Amino acid sequence: MTQSDHGDQAFRAGALTGRRREMTYGGALSFLRRKYTRDLTGADVVVSGIPYDGATTFRPGCRLGPQAIRAASVQLAELRAFPFGFDPFDHLAVIDWGDCFLEPAHPATVPTAIAAHAAAILDSGAKMLTFGGDHFVAYPLLKAHAAHHGPLALVQFDAHSDTWEDDGTGLDHGTMFARAAAEGVVDPAQSIQVGLRTHNDSDCGFEILTSPWIHRHGTEATTAAIRARVGAAPVYVTFDIDVLDPAFAPGTGTPVAGGLATWQALELVRGLAGLNLVGMDVVEVSPPYDHAEVTALAAATVAHDWLCLLAEAKGAVRRPTGRI
Q: pTM of the prediction?
A: 0.94
Across residues 277-293, what is the average pLDDT? 97
CATH for 3-313?
A: 3.40.800.10
pLDDT digits (tens, 9 = 90+) for 185-244: 999 999 999 999 999 888 889 999 999 999 999 999 999 999 999 999 999 999 999 999
Residue ranges per domain, the chain?
3-313
> pLDDT at residue 73 above 80?
yes
Q: Residue 27 — very low, low, confident or very high, per pLDDT cuts 50/70/90?
A: confident
Secondary structure of the chain in the HEC alphabet?
Answer: CCHHHCCCHHHHCCCCCCCCCCCCCCCCCCHHHCEECCCCCCCCEEEEEECCCCCCCCCCCHHHHHHHHHHHCCHHHCCCCCCCCCCHHHCCCEEEEEECCCCCCCHHHHHHHHHHHHHHHHHCCCEEEEEECCHHHHHHHHHHHHHHHCCEEEEEECCCCCCCCCCCCCCCCCCHHHHHHHCCCECHHHCEEEEECCCCCCCCCCEEEEHHHHHHHHHHHHHHHHHHHHCCCCEEEEEEHHHECCCCCCCCCCCCCCCECHHHHHHHHHCCCCCCEEEEEEECCCHHHCCCCHHHHHHHHHHHHHHHHHHHHCCCCCCCCCCC
pLDDT digits (tens, 9 = 90+) for 103-157: 988 989 999 999 999 999 999 999 999 999 999 999 999 999 999 999 999 999 9
Q: Look at residue 4 in the predicted model and tell me its pLDDT.
A: 58
> pLDDT at residue 3 above 60?
no
Q: Residue 323 — very low, low, confident or very high, per pLDDT cuts 50/70/90?
A: confident
Across residues 266-279, what is the average pLDDT? 98
> pLDDT at residue 275 above 80?
yes
